[in-house]
Amino acid sequence: MHMDARNCAIYTRKSSEEGLDMDFNSLDAQYEACLSYIASQKSNGWSATKEHYSDGGFSGGNMDRPGLQKLISDIESGKINIVVVYKIDRLTRSLMDFSRLVEAFDRYGVTFVSVTQSFNTTTSMGRLTLNVLLSFAQFEREVTGERIRDKIAASKRKGMWMGGVSPVGYLADGRSLVPDPAYVDTVQFIFDRYLYWGCVSKLKSELDRTGVRTREWVSQKGHKHGAVSFSRGMLYKILRNPVYVGKISHKADVYDGQHAAIIDKDTWHNVQKCLANNSAQQRGERKVYERDLLKGILFDIDGNVYSPTYALKKGRRYRYYVNQAILQYKNHPKGVMARLPAHELETLIFDRLRCVLKPKILADIFCLDEHDDSTIHYIAKGHELKNEQLFHSVVSRVDISSGYLTIRISATKLRSWIIEQFSVILPDVVTQEYSLKTEFFTQKSKTGSLILLPEKKGKNKSDPFGRPEAEVRSWIQGVVWRDEHFNGMPIQRIAEREGVSATHIVKYINQTFSVI
């Protein structure tokens, strides 16, 4: 009786690369076992392919394996009828990946065989058994993971170091930490100077200025790390790490460690108290900034103050500054904006305020040489600017007129703020007040609200509008219709005369309010 030829592909896998350089390794053993099984089925027409599908040093947790991808490609090409493996987990350890592979096998009429487990996926019982087996394999891995996590937790309760990159100031010594003589002084300096400054940003500035760098270390793969400036995040991590007072942390719990402390408890508690106070203060200040940043210092061209207010729409809060003179007396002088969007206005001011730390402006305020003085270039180059902090420290008044913002800065307060932030020496100011001016333009959004935008670069100064010609023509037409309507002509009559809809007339009239 003639039997159809069955091409059998043998797939082998080993998770680690350990032992692969041996003359007869695990992959060879798997291949020999599968080859013997295929030989036993020679009477059924089975024969092994010449192609070897092998993945040495690849995990079974995913399908990103060159040997497996080659196997799938040959299955799709119709070159393979049977896939033979030593054990099911050699093919995959993921139940989801296994399901996808079985579907692919069924789609191309391929049978899956495990030599040591005698499973055949051409039958429903075989597929059920395989799924159950893989479910137990996944369960076993999860239980193993839980045991490992429990062991780590138990070890940390005993104060043991459980591996990883050792913190700055310590070196790993088995399951414990020993002080690193080269960096103990650095850690103590960081804690002491933070208590002096009470601010991580100032601490970072001092470390950068004095050239203090992080520890250099080499990973197991030979990559060099460290020897760079301390970041603010790294400094926060050091200041909050209980390892420096002889403790070991595990999630939210802290235990007594087996290593020596390099920071005394009084210093540690004072640092934690300062960090907590700063965090609470910043949260409170942030709320104030968002609520009334320009309260009491924003004025129009006539000296009338703008007051903060807000509106709620669909659960969202929109902040504004409202001109009190217009609100109280109901008259609206030309060129005075009644209501200003708070976020856009504050953004304009912040963007312009950044210029105050540029060398040219600092040179003008302190009568220094813009090109030769190293102090002002250090200030301009190295600071991580906090908009609200700088604003409240130096801005005394903001005046707004048609198309212009004038930000008045107290030069004396600016000098004090720079000295505090950068720890530098500056001469006395030559002027008590410095003004920054910036242009802006307004336009209406689709909903009719006012939008403030920075002045566009490259604007044609000879054009009073600075807008495309077609847009200017539509504005002029809108002004004509607006004047007719204000003089008593109904919008419907204007629309009938022009042969357009009343909505079209209203749209053109509304867009004129942002210009004239």
Q: Indicate whether 346 and 204 sit together in one domain.
A: no
Structure tokens at 470: 């077609």
Question: Rounded distance, CA 333 to CA 66, Å?
Answer: 76
* 165 falls within a domain: no
Q: Indicate whether 432 and 506 sit together in one domain.
A: no
Q: Indicate whether 224 and 353 sit together in one domain.
A: no
Q: Indicate whether 15 and 128 sit together in one domain.
A: yes
What are the two backbone dihedrals, phi and then psi, of residue 377, each rounded to the nearest 5 degrees? -75, -35
Q: Indicate whether 304 and 447 sit together in one domain.
A: yes
Counting the structural domains of the chain, the total is 4
Write out the H or E segment, with its range, that includes residue 82: strand 82-85
Question: Rounded distance, CA 206 to CA 422, Å?
Answer: 8
Q: Which residue shows structure tokens 């100077």?
A: 193
- pLDDT of 374: 64
Q: Mapping DSSP to helix (H, G, I), strand (E, B) and coil, where does residue 172 land? A: strand
Q: What is the CATH number of the domain that holds 36?
A: 3.40.50.1390
Q: How far apart are the first and last CA of the chain?
A: 99
Q: Indicate whether 305 and 414 sit together in one domain.
A: yes
Q: Indicate whether 306 and 250 sit together in one domain.
A: no
Q: Indicate whether 269 and 183 sit together in one domain.
A: yes
* 293 falls within a domain: no
* 477 falls within a domain: yes
Residue type at 281 in one-letter notation:
Q
Dihedral-angle region of residue 145 (phi above 0 means left; psi in -120 to 50 means alpha; beta otherwise): alpha
- pLDDT of 3: 64
Question: Rounded distance, CA 324 to CA 47, Å?
Answer: 93
Class of residue 192 by CB neighbours under 10 A (exposed 0-12, middle 13-18, buried 19+): middle
Question: Rounded distance, CA 452 to CA 469, Å?
Answer: 21
Count of CB atoms situated within 10 Å of the CB of 145: 10
Q: Indicate whether 209 and 237 sit together in one domain.
A: yes
| Closest C-alpha to 199, from 92, 139, 138, 279 | 279
Residues in Cβ contact with 410 at an 8 Å cutoff, skipping those fewer than 6 apart: 394, 395, 396, 432, 433
Question: Rounded distance, CA 188 to CA 244, Å?
Answer: 9
Domain coverage including residue 130: 6-140
Q: Indicate whether 419 and 505 sit together in one domain.
A: no
For 400, half-sphere exposure in the C-beta direction (CA atoms, 13 angstrom radius) is 25
395-401 and 298-299 beta bridge pairing? parallel
What are the two backbone dihedrals, phi and then psi, of residue 6, each rounded to the nearest 5 degrees? -125, 110
Per-residue pLDDT of the chain (516 residues; tens, 9 = 90+): 456 788 999 999 988 877 777 778 888 889 998 999 899 888 888 999 988 899 988 888 888 899 999 999 999 998 999 999 988 888 887 777 877 787 788 888 888 888 887 676 656 777 777 777 667 767 877 888 888 888 888 888 888 888 888 888 999 888 889 999 999 999 999 999 999 888 888 898 888 888 888 888 777 777 777 778 888 889 999 999 999 999 998 888 889 988 999 999 999 999 998 888 877 555 554 444 455 678 888 998 888 888 888 888 777 778 888 888 776 766 666 667 778 888 888 888 887 887 777 777 777 777 776 665 566 666 666 555 555 667 777 888 999 887 788 889 888 888 887 777 777 777 777 778 888 888 876 665 544 455 555 655 444 444 445 556 667 777 888 888 888 888 888 888 898 888 888 888 888 888 777 655
Question: Rounded distance, CA 168 to CA 184, Å?
Answer: 8
Q: Running DSSP on this structure, what letter comes out for residue 16?
A: S
Q: What is the pLDDT of residues 281-330, one digit of tens each?
A: 555 544 444 556 788 889 988 888 888 888 887 777 788 888 887 767 66
404-410 and 433-444 beta bridge pairing? antiparallel
Q: Indicate whether 254 and 210 sit together in one domain.
A: yes
Question: Rounded distance, CA 346 to CA 31, Å?
Answer: 71
The crossing angle, in degrees rounded to 10, of helices 359-366 and 411-422 is: 120
Domain termination residue (choose one: 264, 288, 312)? 288
* 159 falls within a domain: no
* 365 falls within a domain: yes
Domain termination residue (choose one: 240, 270, 288)? 288
